[in-house]
């Protein structure tokens, strides 16, 4: 599978400072030199390269907003978005690994953990511990708080019982933010977030899903059977887990938007290179106006999605209301990723339908964007409610 990209498809530098652009270039160089050669093998084996994960930590890409005093980069949420976009341009599986770490796990701790808890766990997340975010269950997808996973108090401890499904980073993670109900009768007000280590007795990482796309990204079940959690592992307050989940997912949707923009840009990059090499009727197919129009549409829609994502990230960093912006960014970018990846296959023709060329993989990877961290219908519902409020 070829992963060489053309230099002719550079995203616009709109809204980037000189420092941000330099950082983007550094991540892009890393993605091309270290991620690209591994993409095909990781997709085939359905496994993230452990050496690559180590490199992500060494570069500081797994602790972007963590303060320097705890080993992090102490940068912005917008920087996290740039990293996810650039990595996803080469491999969306690597992009989502970094995204979950930064926009969900680390953001939840920065927002909700007291100082001592932050120091204890953020040091680990900056230095080599992968995190995972465990909310979904068999009966709670879009209805996120219909949780069956229970937490019962036993002295100063909590005992977790139940199961989680579709947990990203499940195989790589050593720290999990797990949501369970301490009082089913209280509804969403009974939801509580817990910090659970992988080696905690009674906790098992279950089967790994065999997925359509982002196959190198592990998606697993989690099983809790008498899993004892000390009281100091509660994240936030007992009964406030719904706030931890909602506010963190609002930020996470911007990260998924960045993943989808990067994926779409990668598909366009490959297409631009291919149409200048592939000849039909005695000339490169890129010389035909019909093909040129398709490329122009792809580039314009990608840039529109990118600006939506960047706007949402900037609003978040500025402390402004970004709920609608995040929903719009996630909605549009996930739709455009599928559209652009599909058009890329059309441009490649029969070759695009084979695994010999990389657009087939990007097409498979794109589908998840309309599903996880809030389906398309949930984004539409959020936007409509805010419009009518």
How many Cβ atoms sit within 10 Å of the Cβ of residue 232?
Answer: 12
Residues composing the chain: 389
Dig out the tokens for 360 from the structure: 């087939």
> CA 340: distance to chain centroid?
19
Distance CA 145, CA 133 (A): 14
The H-or-E segment that residue 101 falls in is none
Burial call 287-308: b when 16+ CB within 10 Å, e when fewer: eeeebeebbeebbebbbebbbb
Structure tokens at 120: 């204890």
CA distances from 306 to 225, 254, 288, 289 (A): 43, 10, 27, 26
List C-alpha distances in Å: 202 to 195, 207, 223: 14, 16, 8
Under DSSP, the state recorded for 37 is G
Cα(203)–Cα(136) distance, rounded to whole angstroms? 16
320 is annotated as an active-site residue: no
Which residue of the set 65, 137, 221, 373 is catalytic? 373
Task: Count CB neighbours of 47 within 10 A.
Answer: 17
Question: For residue 13, which phi and psi values (nearest 5 degrees)?
Answer: -90, 15
Of the candidates 291, 266, 294, 258, the residue with the CA atom closest to the CA atom of residue 96? 258
End-to-end CA distance of the chain: 49
152: which strand partners?
159
- Please state, in angstroms and rounded to a whole number, the distance separating the CA atoms of residues 316 and 78: 8
Active site residues: 373
């Amino acid at each position: 599978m070829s992963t060489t990209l053309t230099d002719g498809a550079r995203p616009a530098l709109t809204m980037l400072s000189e420092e941000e652009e330099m950082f983007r270039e550094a991540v892009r160089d890393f993605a091309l030199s270290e991620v690209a050669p591994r993409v095909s093998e990781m997709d085939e084996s359905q496994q993230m390269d452990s050496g690559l994960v180590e490199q992500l930590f060494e570069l500081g890409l797994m602790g972007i907003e963590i303060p320097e005093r705890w080993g992090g980069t102490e940068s912005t949420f917008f920087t996290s978005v740039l990293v996810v976009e650039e990595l996803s341009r080469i491999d969306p599986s690597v992009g989502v690994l970094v995204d979950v770490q930064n926009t969900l796990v680390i953001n939840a701790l920065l927002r909700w953990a007291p100082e001592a808890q932050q120091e204890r766990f953020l040091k680990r997340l900056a230095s080599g511990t992968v995190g995972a975010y465990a909310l979904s269950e068999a009966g709670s997808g879009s209805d996120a708080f219909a949780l069956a996973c229970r937490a019962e108090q036993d002295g100063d401890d909590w005992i977790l019982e139940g199961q989680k499904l579709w947990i990203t980073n499940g195989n790589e993670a050593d720290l999990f933010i797990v949501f369970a109900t301490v009082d089913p009768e209280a509804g969403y007000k009974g939801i509580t977030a817990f910090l659970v280590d992988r080696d905690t007795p009674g906790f098992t990482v279950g089967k790994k899903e065999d997925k359509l796309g982002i196959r190198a990204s592990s998606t697993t079940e989690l099983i809790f059977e008498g899993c004892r959690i000390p009281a100091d592992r509660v994240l936030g307050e007992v009964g406030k887990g719904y706030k931890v989940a909602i506010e963190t997912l609002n930020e996470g949707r911007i990260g998924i938007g960045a993943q989808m923009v990067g994926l779409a840009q990668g598909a366009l990059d490959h297409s631009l290179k291919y149409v200048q090499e592939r000849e039909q009727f005695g000339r490169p197919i890129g010389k035909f106006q019909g093909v040129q129009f398709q490329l122009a549409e792809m580039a314009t829609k990608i840039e529109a999605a990118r600006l939506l994502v960047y706007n949402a990230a900037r609003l978040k960093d500025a402390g402004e209301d970004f709920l609608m912006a995040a929903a719009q960014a996630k909605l549009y970018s996930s739709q455009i990723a599928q559209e652009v990846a599909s058009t890329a296959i059309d441009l490649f023709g029969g070759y695009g339908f084979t695994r010999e060329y990389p657009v087939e993989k990007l097409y498979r990877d794109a589908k998840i964007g309309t599903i996880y961290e809030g389906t398309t219908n949930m984004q539409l519902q959020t936007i409509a409610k805010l419009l009518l409020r």
